[in-house]
Amino acid sequence: MDMEQVYTSNFKVGAYPFYEHLRKTNPIFAMNEQNAQASWMVTKYDHVKELLKSPSFIKDQSKLFSNQNEENDSGEPNLFGNMMLDVDPPDHTRLRKLVQPSFNPKTIKHLAPRIEQIAEELLDDIQDKSEPVDLIEDYAFPLPIIVISELLGVPTEDRNKFRKWSNTILAAQDEMNQDFIQDVEAFTQYLTELFEKGSAHPEEDLVSQLIESQEDGDKLSRNELYSMVVLLIIAGHETTVNLIGNTMHALFEHPAQLEQVKEDHQLISGAIEEGLRYYSPVDFSTARWAGEDMEFHGQSIRKGDFVMASISSANRDEEKFEQADSFNITRERNAHVAFGFGIHFCLGAPLARLEGKIALEKLLERFPNINLDASRPSPQWRRVFLLRGLDSLPVQL
């Protein structure tokens, strides 16, 4: 199998048996042996943690064969050039420090009443709806995008634009594609106007704080400002929608556990953790590059090779998790790596967990008889390589 097949087949359907086969036979898997620069997929739990923690695998490819910093602050702003997720220390440390306080568990806890209110409002709309309900479209998508938009200070009514742009960006296989170019231009233009407004009339929100950091001088460059906001918008909703959708999907597939959760909402936190492990919303880590020639668990990896971790595979590793292919909301010691590991460990994990918990609590409180709508086509996985999420999840209330 090569990357092209991964993109073109509906890979998600048979992914778990495929990963199991790799873990047993070829755990550091060469995805494109014929190319000069090899691409590797790491599939075992322990190896994935080692990869994500090791400074020998680096994020900033531009530093591999030269010591120059590629950033160019002249001309058009670059949405992706200087993302926190794509850089190494010391830049990573500096960027993460700027946003970490806004995402600490203590800070995030204060958002609970507002998240509950948003959930209730969405459920009111669902209750009033005459058409069939799609849990993704009507609930799992709007909830996190409204929360992250409010936190950042971007207008929530623009959420469908963000959805379109991030869809195009995440699905992009070819950066010369016309849709990709157009959507990136539109997103850039949108942010330029947002930053101009934010600079003239600062508010108490995170975008205003970031603009201030940029204007203050050396804390944040212009490209870093753009790519930070793009990262937070995309990571803030594309993932949590899947957490809510995938966990409900797994519960519908396991009706006895769904009944248990309906009867005892204390089980919801365990269901969320098991949802993260069983149908991990982020299937793969983002790219890393080997910073030097090395041996990695029996494979010779050369400097510059592309290496990625299969988070979904690690989370189903039978050497780590008992009955790894079983969904079990009361699983003990569920040390999954759904939020990654090491210095790039998910910034939004406390927020995602809180949103997931509130989303399920409020949904099951309002609609205790909720079930999958078996009269409509069965849920399909979206064809997005990095993520595992459903296109739609039709339900009966």
Contacts with ligand HEM, residue ranges (CB under 6 A): 52, 84-85, 96, 103, 148, 231-232, 235-236, 239-240, 243, 281-282, 285-286, 311, 338-340, 344, 346-348, 351-352
Of 352 and 373, which has the nearer Cβ to ligand HEM? 352
Of 110 and 201, which has the nearer Cβ to ligand HEM? 110
Ranges of H-type helices in the chain: 3-8, 15-25, 45-53, 91-103, 105-109, 112-128, 135, 142-152, 159-171, 178-200, 206-216, 222-238, 240-253, 255-263, 268-278, 311-314, 349-366
Distances (CA, A) of 4 to 9, 31, 103: 9, 10, 36
Of 84 and 290, which has the nearer Cβ to ligand HEM? 84
Contact 50, 21 (CB under 8 A): no
d(CA 286, CA 275): 21
* 16 alpha carbon, distance to own chain's centre: 19
The residue nearest ligand HEM at its CB is 348
Query: What are the backbone angles phi and psi of residue 72, rounded to the nearest 5°?
Result: -130, 110
Least Cβ distance, residue 274 to ligand HEM (angstroms): 13
| Residue that has been written with the tokens 């969320």 in this structure | 272
Least Cβ distance, residue 339 to ligand HEM (angstroms): 5
Contact 325, 56 (CB under 8 A): no
d(CA 22, CA 69): 37
Of 286 and 334, which has the nearer Cβ to ligand HEM? 286
Q: DSSP label at 61?
A: G
Between helix 159-171 and helix 222-238 the angle, nearest 10°, is: 100
Of 348 and 373, which has the nearer Cβ to ligand HEM? 348
Q: Is 63 helix (H, G, I), strand (E, B) or coil?
A: helix
Of 81 and 236, which has the nearer Cβ to ligand HEM? 236
Least Cβ distance, residue 232 to ligand HEM (angstroms): 5
Of 156 and 286, which has the nearer Cβ to ligand HEM? 286
